[in-house]
Chain A
Amino acid sequence: DIVMTQSPDSLAVSLGERATINCKSSQSVLYTSNNKNYLAWYQQKRGQPPKLLIYWASTRESGVPDRFSGSGSGTDFTLTISSLRAEDVAVYYCLQYYNTPLWTFGQGTKVEIK
């Protein structure tokens, strides 16, 4: 089974500053046949279901603000919020779908305002 490990577990960032969340997979989620990383990022606000932000590690879902960006390949990935806004307070999860239809989530990273 692929294990997804996020860091840090939580972080506090000032409004307008950058937030960086890391996600590491226990094995590569890069399919060499199509050169795609099977990694997605989700945002979950309190009391709501998760919302898809990014898929293929770096492709923003339609309607997601461009302050959210994803990067990385193989086993190491990053979600960056370039300029934190109050509405970005949430828990963020990475998810691997390399073993589709089986999914694995990271443990989550809580983002708060400093």
Chain B
Amino acid sequence: EVQLVQSGAEVKKPGESLKISCKASGYSFISYWIGWVRQMPGKGLEWMGIIYPDDSDTRYSPSFEGQLTISADKTISTAYLQWNSLKASDTAMYYCARQDGRGWPDFWGQGTLVTVSS
């Protein structure tokens, strides 16, 4: 059974760093792209970027390029989303999702709620 299990909710202050995780199981982690999606409170889904764990080929949405880092550790089947300096506007639910080999996201993590507040 394919599963993506994300790390728990976080409460941070502006300027702090953060790394959230998405642990995959039930399939060959290195063979599928893993994407990250942001959902701000009461808003829609925004594609942030995606990584191919086998070779760490990473693509970013222009809206998020330079604001965060996507990475993966194939030895533990885990993808990451990292910020060096959080802003209040980073407050959102973040989802990871596996890309089906044919192109669309098929399996989703349960989401990680990140709250940034002074």
Closest B residue to A97 using CB positions: B103
Closest B residue to A40 using CB positions: B104
Q: How far is the CA of A1 from the CA of B59 in the complex (A)?
A: 14
Q: In the bound complex, do residue A105 and residue B47 qualify as a contact, i.e. CB atoms below 8 Å apart?
A: yes
Interface size on A, residues (CB 8 A): 23
Q: In the bound complex, do residue A50 and residue B62 qualify as a contact, i.e. CB atoms below 8 Å apart?
A: no
Residues 76-107 of B at the A interface (beta carbon under 8 Å): 95, 97, 99-100, 102-106
- Please, what's the 1-or-0 string for A53-70, where 1 marks a CB less than 8 Å from any CB in chain B? 001000000000000000
Closest B residue to A44 using CB positions: B45
**Contact of A103 with B47 at beta-carbon distance under 8 Å, contacts A40-B104, A49-B95, A55-B102 already known:** yes
A20 within 8 A of B: no
B111 within 8 A of A: yes
Closest A residue to B104 using CB positions: A40
Residues 62-114 of A at the B interface (beta carbon under 8 Å): 91, 93, 95, 97, 100-108
Q: How far is the CA of A1 from the CA of B63 in the complex (A)?
A: 11
* Chain A residues in 8 Å Cβ range of B95: 49-50
* Chain A residues in 8 Å Cβ range of B106: 52
Q: Which listed residue, B33, B45, B103, touches A93 by the CB 8 Å rule?
A: B45
- Please, what's the 1-or-0 string for B41-66, where 1 marks a CB less than 8 Å from any CB in chain A? 00011110010100000010110000
Which B residues are within 8 Å of any A CB, using their own CB? 33, 35, 37, 44-47, 50, 52, 59, 61-62, 95, 97, 99-100, 102-106, 108-111
Which A residues are within 8 Å of any B CB, using their own CB? 1, 38, 40, 42, 44, 49-52, 55, 91, 93, 95, 97, 100-108
Additional 8 contacts, C-beta under 8 A, given A44-B45, A50-B95: A49-B95, A49-B111, A52-B106, A55-B104, A101-B99, A102-B50, A102-B61, A107-B44
